[in-house]
Structure formats: C-alpha cells, structure tokens
Amino acid sequence: MYHFKKPLIGLIISILTYLIIFFESEEEKFLKLPIDIRLRKLNYPIQRHHIITDDNFNITIFRLGKKGSYQFNQGKPVVFVPQFLNCIDSYVLNEEHLSPALVLANYGLDVWLMSTRGGDYSPNNEKGSNFSFHEYGFYDLSKTFEYVYLFNPQNISAIGHSQGGNTILVGLAEKRLKNTHKMIIYGGGIYGKHAQGLFPLLINSPLVEILSYFTDKINIGPSRFLFYLTKHFHYLSRLFFHYVIDTLESDMNISNLYHFAKRSPQPTTIQNILHYKQMFVSGVFKRYDYGPTINLQKYGQLEPPQYNLNQIEESIHLIYGTHDVLARQPDAQKFYQELKKTQAKNVTISEYASMGHISFILDKRASFLKEIISIIEDD
C-alpha cells in the first residue's frame, strides 16, 4: 500500500502545481487579450492606428464605436489618456455599463484611446527610457489630437485619470494641443501635499533613486499571483488599497479588481517616476530636472522651467472623490483656485462623496459619467 501512495502523492502535487502555475481559465485568457481583440469579442467596433510623433516615436491609438454598430460614431471626439501605469485598458475593464470608454462610445461620442510611449501597446524599446509624462503630453497627445481631427473635424475633448491629467496639462500649458474642446481631469492635479498612505512614504524615500542605479524602466508585469490574490482575497486587497489609493469607504466594486491583474502593471520609466517625485516634493509643476549641467544644455538655465498654467485658455473640469487617498480635497481645491486665476475659459470642480481614486475605474455606479457627458455636450 505504502509503495502505491508515494507516486500518487507525487502525481497530485504535479497536477496542483500545473493548475497553479500553468493552467489558465478561459476568463484569464480573455482578460489577457489586447484591448482591441477583447472588445471585438464583446461586439464593439474597434480599430488600431499607428501614429508617428514629432520626435519619431511610434504610438498606437484605438478608435472605439458603439456596441453592435458597423461604423464609428459621428459624435464629438474624445481622447482617453492613460494613467501612471500606462494602462489604457483601465477605461474598459469595469462592467460594460460602468466602464468610462464604453459608456461614452455607447452614448454616441467618437471615442479614442491613446497609449503612451513605453507601454505595452507602444513599446519603442529601441528608443530608450529617457521620457516622462512631459513627452506623453508634449508629443504623444498633441499628435493624437492632430490625427483624430483628420477623421472627425470637430473640437476634441480629453479625459485623464490621475497622471493622465498631468499629461493633458503639459499639452495645454505648452500650447501643443490644437482644436480643443473640454478638458476633464479626474483623481488628478498637480499638488500632493495632503496625499496619505504608502505612496508618499515611498516617493519621499530614496527608493526610486536607488532603483535608478540598476534600471531605467520598471516592468513588474501582470502576474498570476496578483490575479489569484485579487480574485480570491477581496478583503485583503481592499485593506491594501485602503493604505494606498481608496479608503474603505469608497464605492469601488472590489470583486472586479482582478480584471486588471492580466493587463497591469505595465512598464513605466524611472524618469517618469522621478518627474512625478520632483513635482510632488517641490509642489511646483515644472519640467524634468536633469541636474544643472544637462538643464543648462536642454533649457538654457540651471533650473527646469515651470509649466506656465497662464497659457491655458481651454475649459478645465476637475472631478475628485472624497475617499481618494492620493488626490485629496485640499490639494484639488488649491489647484482649482489657481486655475481660476488663469485665462482658462471655464473651470469647474466637483466632489463625489462616494468615490476614491480607483473607484473612477471600478465604481459601482459611475454616476460621474453623466456629468462628463453633459460637460462634453454642453457648448
């Protein structure tokens, strides 16, 4: 009997190992698919376009139409701008009636999703990693606006969550965006003085500088571990988020968090994190600080120049959640007051008492989308 048991136990262990390490459920395979293939399976028309920026990066953007339709919408064009981890998929991974890009496409707006240099859809690996959200806004977003206008010659709106907001602000302050309509920033802004939780601790530590000795890019990549953890351990994931992004009170639907684990985190550059850090620590929205020698070559001065918010003439609409651990009320209000002093046409701010930071991606009701549609439709 004993002789028989040993191989049996070995066999069971092998099968379990296979299941844990190699087996992929149909759902996992589906969530792993690139955004266009996945959405086509859900019956959305979606096209992949490649554009070449002024500094020669090859950027992928997607055009998304109404579910079940054979053509793209003729409504007002809107560009979704990715956040920190470059994950454009985050705009389509909630339930269909709650995902920002899907809701706007089904409403009839002409939806475009921009990926940025360095992410999985626009790797540009041969070009190195010397870029941050400055280049996303200065080159990638401006070329996207030009390109979208060729297909739909109406003024274009942009929507950016979190760091996506900084990308938009760079484009505006540097006067790079043409044919603009409404600029909508949620869970974003340039101030982080009141941010709480793990992120300020990490960003204020020398961790990124230490990492920069070893690598110029962070590429953790999606993992099975994250997938299982977020799929099966909701309370633990929720508790972790409480200390990083959304307090426990926010209305995010934690049971959908695992949708991301097959697409996120995507790569980002050390320069992007350092640029963020410089802004965060100094409280000044300025260009990347290369150190005095290179600053002098690049900018003709020892200190990096500030972005000139006074250049902004567009309408800017800020939206934030009360339970956001990162983009908090006092910082959002301060930024709002500052924008109101600029030439910006119309600056508004709204607070959602049930929302946090990730809940803009995974909210149970997504009522802020009604406001976004009315801002874009309002002339």
Q: Tell me how far, at minimum, the Cβ of 173 lies from ligand NAG, in Å.
A: 17
Q: Which of 12, 15, 52, 236 binds ligand NAG (CB under 6 A)?
A: 52
The piece of 50-58, 190-198, 220-228, 324-332 that touches ligand NAG (CB under 6 A) is 50-58
Q: Which of 364, 366, 369, 372 binds ligand NAG (CB under 6 A)?
A: 364
The piece of 80-88, 108-116, 250-258, 280-288 that touches ligand NAG (CB under 6 A) is 250-258
In terms of CB distance, is 29 or 50 closer to ligand NAG? 50
Q: Does 322 bind ligand NAG (CB under 6 A)?
A: no
How far is Cα 289 from Cα 303, in angstroms, rounded to an integer? 7
Q: Tell me how far, at minimum, the Cβ of 4 lies from ligand NAG, in Å.
A: 44
Task: Tell me which residue of 49, 92, 46 sits closest to 70, measured CA to CA.
Answer: 46
**69 with 40: CB under 8 angstroms?**
no
Q: Does 10 bind ligand NAG (CB under 6 A)?
A: no
Q: Cα dist. 38→44, 92, 189, 364 in Å?
A: 9, 10, 31, 22
Q: Tell me how far, at minimum, the Cβ of 251 lies from ligand NAG, in Å.
A: 8
Q: Which of 219, 255, 310, 337 binds ligand NAG (CB under 6 A)?
A: 255
In terms of CB distance, is 346 or 367 closer to ligand NAG? 346
Q: Does 375 bind ligand NAG (CB under 6 A)?
A: yes
Which residues 91-110 are close enough to bind ligand NAG by CB under 6 A? 95
DSSP string for 108-155:
T-EEEEE--TTSTTS--GGG-S---HHHIIIIIIHHHHHHHHHHS-S-
Q: Tell me how far, at minimum, the Cβ of 84 lies from ligand NAG, in Å.
A: 21
Alpha helices, H only, the chain: 2-21, 26-32, 35-41, 100-107, 133-135, 142-151, 163-173, 198-204, 207-212, 224-232, 234-242, 270-282, 292-299, 329-340, 359-362, 368-377
How far the first Cα of the chain sits from its last, in Å, is: 81
Q: Does 346 bind ligand NAG (CB under 6 A)?
A: yes
Which residues 151-210 are close enough to bind ligand NAG by CB under 6 A? 154-155
Q: Which residues contact 168 (CB under 8 A, 6 or more apart)?
A: 81, 137, 141, 158, 160, 183, 185
The piece of 28-36, 76-84, 104-112, 251-259 that touches ligand NAG (CB under 6 A) is 251-259
What token pair was written down for 273? 């994190």
Q: Which residues contact 159 (CB under 8 A, 6 or more apart)?
A: 78, 79, 80, 81, 100, 184, 185, 186, 372
The phi, psi pair for 356, rounded to 5°, reads -125, -130
Q: Does 76 bind ligand NAG (CB under 6 A)?
A: no
The phi, psi pair for 182, rounded to 5°, reads -110, 145
Q: Does 303 bind ligand NAG (CB under 6 A)?
A: no
The piece of 11-19, 30-38, 225-233, 249-257 that touches ligand NAG (CB under 6 A) is 249-257
Q: Which of 10, 128, 283, 330 binds ligand NAG (CB under 6 A)?
A: 128
The piece of 159-167, 253-261, 273-281, 335-343 that touches ligand NAG (CB under 6 A) is 253-261
Residues near ligand NAG (CB under 6 A) are: 50, 52, 58, 95, 128, 130, 154-155, 253, 255-256, 346, 348, 364, 375, 378
